[in-house]
Structure 1
Amino acid sequence: MVAEKKSFSRAAEALRLTQPAISQQIHTLEEYYGTKLFERTSKRVELTSAGETLLPYAKQILDLSAKSKGALDDLMGRVTGKLTIGATFTIGEYILPQVLAEYTQRFPEVELNLLIHNTEEIGEMMLDYSIDAGVVEGRLQHRHLTLTSFLDDEVVLFAPPGHPLADVSKVRAEQLEEHTFILREAGSGTRATAEDYLQKIGVAPRKIISIGSTQGIKEAVEAGMGLAILSKWCVRREMLAGSLQRLTLDGFHYTRPLSVLERAGRFQSRAASEFVCLVQQYAYPKA
């Protein structure tokens, strides 16, 4: 955690320990191995070459510890421990909460931690052993990662009420060329999906505004700044309330798979495997 946060105080906060306790643990490790593991400056903490060498082994030790506990829990039929889930914004904010509500009812002894990042960051966290399971909306290609689709997500184009295209029953692609589009940041699965959507309909917007949050995009559209493309899950409440209006493209319908992300060959705790099963089998309501 110190290596990840580059700070003793932030590591202590994340682990719910005191900073002196963290410092003592590191000091004990450095005495045991007979070398410095961190270079400390007034602004940040960096791993030494010895620390860089030790870090992957430390992660494997933690993984093996989890395996041993998981094996005993399985033997006794228990589902306990900590479960850290990485999810992309759309899934983490609009889909997973109802899944996790059912999960906590089934397995109340599991301590849940949900981290929300973009697709690329979730992939890095899985490779780095920082999360136990991932749920993403983007595409990832890595020989150590596997993606398993669990839900088809409809992606929609929308505008504020009163927009010139709002009253058009079937919008033609060429009518979109002159309009500003509001998209997520580069590296986001939502951004990649929107770009693919535009490419498929042959539209190259004259102007694009990037905003780093889904809520920010919705509020920008409501304020009349432009059009946007998001998962139907993200805008269903606003559409029901009438603050956003879906635009129907003539002869075009776009869906994308939402997927469970796992690390190939990695031991999966009972808590993680039960979560993955629930995600894949959950009876999702219509968005």
Structure 2
Amino acid sequence: MINTHLQVFAMVAEKKSFSRAAEALRLTQPAISQQIHTLEEYYGTKLFERTSKRVELTAAGETLLPYAKQILDLSAKSKGALDDLMGRVTGKLTIGATFTIGEYILPQVLAEYTQRFPEVELNMLIHNTEEIGEMMLDYSIDAGVVEGRLQHRHLTLTPFLDDEVVLFAPPSHPLARSAAVRAEQLEEHAFILREAGSGTRATAEDYLQKIGVEPRKVISIGSTQGIKEAVEAGMGLAILSQWCVRRELQTGSLKRLTVDAFRYSRPLSVLERAGRFQSRAASEFVSLVQHYAYPKA
């Protein structure tokens, strides 16, 4: 079917590589090449420029790509509509989640989801908030779960959980010995933050702004685990969701710092595309996320 060829085409366009597309689709590279060749014969034009290093869309490929995504989305909608009519929850579900949510909160939700709906083929992609928004806009995911703010007329955010954000240090840090610290004591210390574009980075910057602190030095690390290990190694202080550090705080390998009785929380939200048809698999996922009995972090 043409849908299969268009799915291959869209994946090659996304990965910019035949081999990576083959890996993502669990096909052989010759099978990918053959399907692209068949599609190029069907449309009577080249869709990709191939070099030794990468694959780029031609002008014809750039023109086809948004239509291909719409066709694939309509195909999924039609199957979803028939499944809904027959009361089935099946098909593929691709979720986009930010790092904190995808690594520390969603796994327990997904465990329950797979028990309820074992026929759904589940795939979770973990990226930062801005990237999740872009993936929702280009139909790469069915639902998103994010910790940052996004403003776009085609996207809607629905909060489902209040997340407290905490400041922490290694237990050997001088400030870790105090029951509470003053904001001005923090300015002389380095802070380890996530990369720009991350919802966690934006939250940490807002936290610091609200307590009136401008760090003398900021170190960017694109991994939550990397940040925790850097703090444990004594590189500086950090601000993360309580979900990310609850085990380390319990074991004592990290120490929470209380700043002038200041507390900061943010909403975690379900991200959806406004007006987009939602499959039964996606709507059941969104409902579970919103009504799940989350344990205390």
> Residues 44-75 of structure 1, C-alpha deviation per residue, up to 9 Å, x if partnerless?
11111111111111111111111111111111
Q: What SS is found at the alignment partner of 2:93? A: strand
Q: What SS is found at the alignment partner of 1:259? A: strand
Q: Work out the CA distance in 1 between the residues paired with 2:90 and 2:56.
A: 34
Displacement of 1:251:
2.9
Q: What's the C-alpha RMSD, in Å, of the aligned pairs?
A: 0.7
Displacement of 1:265:
1.0
Q: What SS is found at the alignment partner of 1:84? A: strand
Instruction: Confirm or deny that 1:203 pairs with 2:213.
Output: yes
Q: Work out the CA distance in 2 between the residues paired with 1:148 and 1:205.
A: 32
Q: Work out the CA distance in 2 between the residues paired with 1:10 and 1:210.
A: 28
Displacement of 1:169:
1.2
Q: What SS is found at the alignment partner of 1:161? A: coil
Residue in 1 that maps onto 2:6:
none
TM-score, normalised via structure 1 length: 0.99
Q: Work out the CA distance in 2 between the residues paired with 1:31 and 1:285.
A: 55
Q: Work out the CA distance in 2 between the residues paired with 1:183 and 1:276.
A: 30
Q: Work out the CA distance in 2 between the residues paired with 1:119 and 1:172.
A: 31
> Residues 196-223 of structure 1, C-alpha deviation per residue, up to 9 Å, x if partnerless?
0000000000011111100010011111
Residue in 1 that maps onto 2:129:
119
Q: Work out the CA distance in 1 between the residues paired with 2:49 and 2:39.
A: 14
TM-score, normalised via structure 2 length: 0.96
Unaligned runs of 5+ in 1: none
Q: Work out the CA distance in 2 between the residues paired with 1:251 and 1:235.
A: 19
Q: Work out the CA distance in 2 between the residues paired with 1:227 and 1:248.
A: 13
Displacement of 1:19:
1.0
Q: Work out the CA distance in 2 between the residues paired with 1:249 and 1:79.
A: 48
Q: Work out the CA distance in 2 between the residues paired with 1:70 and 1:16.
A: 23
Displacement of 1:162:
2.1
Q: What SS is found at the alignment partner of 2:144? A: strand
Q: What SS is found at the alignment partner of 2:272? A: strand
Displacement of 1:27:
1.0
Q: What SS is found at the alignment partner of 1:166? A: helix
Displacement of 1:25:
1.0
> Residues 233-266 of structure 1, C-alpha deviation per residue, up to 9 Å, x if partnerless?
0000000001001001113110000000011111
Residue in 1 that maps onto 2:202:
192
> Residues 25-47 of structure 1, C-alpha deviation per residue, up to 9 Å, x if partnerless?
11111111111111111111111
Displacement of 1:20:
1.2
Unaligned runs of 5+ in 2: 1-10
Displacement of 1:150:
0.4
> Residues 114-171 of structure 1, C-alpha deviation per residue, up to 9 Å, x if partnerless?
1100001101111111111100001111111111100010000001112111121121
> Residues 160-192 of structure 1, C-alpha deviation per residue, up to 9 Å, x if partnerless?
112111121121101101011111111111000
Percent pairwise identity: 92
Q: Work out the CA distance in 2 between the residues paired with 1:85 and 1:55.
A: 21
Q: How many residues align?
A: 287
Displacement of 1:275:
0.3
> Residues 89-121 of structure 1, C-alpha deviation per residue, up to 9 Å, x if partnerless?
000000000000000010011111111000011
Q: What SS is found at the alignment partner of 2:171? A: coil
Q: Work out the CA distance in 2 between the residues paired with 1:19 and 1:223.
A: 44
